Structure 1
């Protein structure tokens, strides 16, 4: 496999990649140049300079794109997801650097440091003009409580500040040991003396602060943005700074970078730095190393640490979840080899110990297994949910509480235009996968190798006839399972066979008197 590094990253990251794969470093490539060469690579590593567009990905064979940093707005995530390309980033590596830069800008605002330095260098000694304010006892509004937002809050608490925070996605446990008051956005805007932003740039956060939001703020409020340009409406910010509604603002990021034509740079109450939030030697090494390790994991088919467009499982749960992920994929493949019809709904039902875990990856694996047999587009854990939605397939997850020690059981219930069917599986000791039911038939199948399934009338002689036919054709039976609905009623037989069954043998089996259908399932 080959890896292309198209932006400058720390050599330590490149060295890690080189230990496993061939690495080419080619920076400052245009979109057309990337399109021309990308087909030769399995992975792409970028920082923020390379714009990874749908055009670049369209005819590529990329398996993973690694972003050496946090923000991924330079990567077309929708196109990557549809294509089944995993995107990973390095959200932890620059946490310290970005939070320290935020605090540096906060202090610079409070004490007028850049203007005071500029004045003194112009040989003017004017202490009164640069009277500052203390941070101790002031209220800092933190918008976004991810890793960086929480770290900024901790540092500000150390400075004696009170913290008001807004984050609609925060988990209570993430802040229960930090002296933070979580409120709605309006409360932050109305009550904070300083406001700092730590949210990604998305459709919902683009221009989340504009004329209306400025009108809600205290007169003389001060703002810091070390997150992403575009969160603050720069035209509205210009007016708020000119009027004094906003006493000062510190920006490390801009909507257009470099912002050399921005009128904001002409304002004395604006502090600006050229996107330095993650620009420390330590941070650049850390993000390069982190993303390199994840790219290698992805290429080896292992669980990555920081997926952006795929379900993430906590490391402490992964070892227990993984056998069920493998089982669910096989269940999906089993179902679509057994049955056909236009799928409208897939319901994944979880009981026993598995229902207490995060089952999203198991559900995704089940959908992957289903789609892999019915689509020409390759399905994987990245694009399976997208492909299902695109085809109008409704996905439902249901958890049923049972005794704490009950075995974990997964049931896949599939609705098509030809009816409803189901497959049920479990994982036994030593990660031993089993399919234990097909519809209402109770069985015990090992989802491995070749399995001959027959649906027939429960009458003497049918099993023998199938066995005789397989024996005549030198096909060995590894194991056999039988299930039936009622005495001499409908029945199911599963035979694990060591060899493939040609179509002509399957056709002969189907002609046996009392036989309704025979299907070969391959794993």
Structure 2
């Protein structure tokens, strides 16, 4: 078998592969040449430079696996690879330590004015009094997002005798206790921290989650760090807050546009800010680590063994796949629906299968539920292989039940969740080949989860549904379908609207405040 290594893969990874396979190394591989030579290879390793497009995949006659030496897989057409049965893997843990240590380095450099002190020293200046810093000891660090990197930063901060407040909507008290951190709300972290560091994915909910409104609530002298994703902290607002002294200092490694424009980026002109060019994963060890991780994955895959870092789908026998394949998207969206309803950390998930589907191994469907549940809230991409481990890391108990009997449907999937002490439940089935949500908590519905759905429990009286529709329409939100679910509880119904547009947070709050509306939850399946 032949492996093509592009984009400057570490020699350590190459050496591992050469023990079993013929390896061709092509650094700075032009797109035209990749298209020309890809039919000869069984495996391909890339970093961020090479674009593995649908056209490349279509020409890859022998390709069995694509390895990304790093975390992000935006340069690989994953749906095209999956459709052709090609495994796509990455290295989500290879640069965790590098990103964690860079966050600490940024925090220290910012608090002790190291960059500006170094710069002025080289100019022959001696400014001891001008660059007096602050200590980490005794300060409160707010960590927003407690994934691998956030947890690593918290651990190291405690070694500096810092107190750690952690905000993560999906971490429970048991996991927090094991990490030695105190769980807090987002507002509590914002209002009570001396340092704040973000470690969240960039989604519609996290984009701009720290803007001027939040900065004005922070403690005097607060210092901010972003080594996660550009855009989580609003760049223009941060620059203005630094100028006004609302924020004492900041350290930024990631940007909304990379590289940032030389002119027009407000951070480049802001005072008291440390800027680095996305160096979070740029260590010798991390580059070796991601290359070695991917090499091991390719070796396993080409030998027919399971790969723990696959980002598309774990191998399943053709017989089982024929049965469960139509249910995979439905299962994932049931998980996405129930997490969208949750107001607190997920404590447990039970997936129950009824009907003929109980005769096959449904483990991958349960994984699909967990994938849909975790994807909107995790910093790194959740896939069919890592979802169970990520759930375990976060203290989520997952169980599965089967019951051949099914009264109403030939097959039925029920997802029961305990979140923040509250019990939530959704059910789904197939109508032909189309997945449908048929129950949300106690309400019978018939919902096509193909886009975005707005879920509103409400008083059963005239005018309530019309008021919501008028409000959304007046704000440019188109309703493409509507369902009203009923329950035995007299006077209460459930409105489920399929909407074609995103609903801004402020508008969602307005819906919640309407007379007769008990709550309003938006579930966005485009993010699952």
How far apart are residue 182 of structure 1 and its match?
2.1
Q: How many residues align?
A: 359
Structure 1's unaligned 5+ residue stretches are 312-321, 366-380, 384-396, 403-410, 419-523
Matches within 5 A, 1:47-66: 47-61=47-61, 62-66=63-67
- The answer to whether 1:274 aligns with 2:273 is no
Which residue of structure 1 lines up, in the alignment, with residue 16 of structure 2?
16
- In the other structure, the counterpart of 1:125 is 126
Report the counterpart of residue 287 of structure 2 in structure 1: 284
Larger radius of gyration: 1
Go from structure 1 to structure 2 and tell me whether the alpha carbon gap of 1:343 and 1:294 turns closer, same or farther (over 3 Å shift): closer
Q: Is contact 2:243-2:271 (8 Å) kept?
A: no
- Whether contact under 8 Å (2:242, 2:271) holds in the other structure is no
Identify the residue that residue 231 of structure 1 maps to in structure 2. 232
Deviates more, 1:199-208 or 1:18-27: 199-208
Q: Does the aligned pair in 2 maintain the 1:331–1:412 contact within 8 Å?
A: no
Partner SS state of residue 196, structure 1: strand
Alpha-carbon distance in 1 for matches of 2:261, 2:324: 59
Q: Partner residue of 2:146?
A: 145
Runs of 5+ unmatched residues, structure 2: 335-350, 369-382, 386-398, 405-409, 413-428, 434-528
Secondary structure of the equivalent of 2:94? coil
Q: How does 1:3-152 map to 2 (within 5 A)?
A: 3-61=3-61, 62-81=63-82, 84-152=85-153
Q: Secondary structure at the match of 1:3?
A: strand
**1:399 aligned to which of 398, 401, 418:** 401
Q: Is the 8 A contact 1:343 1:417 kept in 2?
A: no
Which piece of structure 1 moves more, 89-98 or 123-132? 89-98
Root mean square deviation of aligned Cα: 4.0
Partner of 1:200: 201
Cα distance in 2, alignment partners of residues 15 and 238 from structure 1: 46
41 and 246 in structure 1: CA distance in 2 versus 1, 3 angstrom threshold: farther
Q: What is the CA-CA distance between 1:159 and the residue it aligns to?
A: 0.5
SS class of match (2:248) = strand
**Cα 1:121–1:143, aligned 2, differ >3 Å: closer, same or farther?**
same
Contact 2:226/2:254, CA 8 A, preserved across alignment? yes
User: 2 CA distance for matches of 1:216 and 1:78?
Assistant: 43
Tell whether the 8 Å contact from 2:310 to 2:384 is kept in structure 1 after alignment. no
Seen in structure 2, the aligned counterparts of structure 1 residues 364 and 97 have a Cα distance that, compared at 3 Å, is closer
Q: Does the 8 Å CA contact 1:64/1:88 hold for their aligned counterparts? A: yes
- SS, match of residue 176 in structure 1: helix
Is residue 319 of structure 2 the alignment partner of residue 330 of structure 1? yes
1:210 aligns with 2:211: yes
Query: Shift of residue 222 of structure 1?
Result: 1.3
SS of aligned partner of 1:130? coil
Tell me, in whole angstroms, the C-alpha distance in 2 between the residues paired with 1:344 and 1:112: 50
Residue 98 of structure 1: how far off its partner (Å): 1.8
1:408 corresponds to: none
| TM-score (norm. length: structure 1) | 0.59
Task: Give yes or no for contact 2:91–2:309 (8 Å, CA) kept in 1.
Answer: yes
Q: Distance in 2 between matches of 1:86 and 1:344?
A: 19
SS of the aligned residue for 2:274 comes to: strand
Distance 1:152 1:237, change over 3 A: same
Task: Tell me which residue corresponds to 2:311.
Answer: 308
Matches within 5 A, 1:501-516: none
> If the length of structure 2 is used for normalisation, what is the TM-score?
0.59
Among 259, 265, 268, the residue aligned to 2:268:
265
CA contact (8 A) 2:144 2:167 kept: yes
- Partners of 1:333 and 1:99 in 2: how far apart? 42
Q: Deviations over 1:154-202 (max 9, x none)?
A: 0000101111112234365544322111223333222222111223344
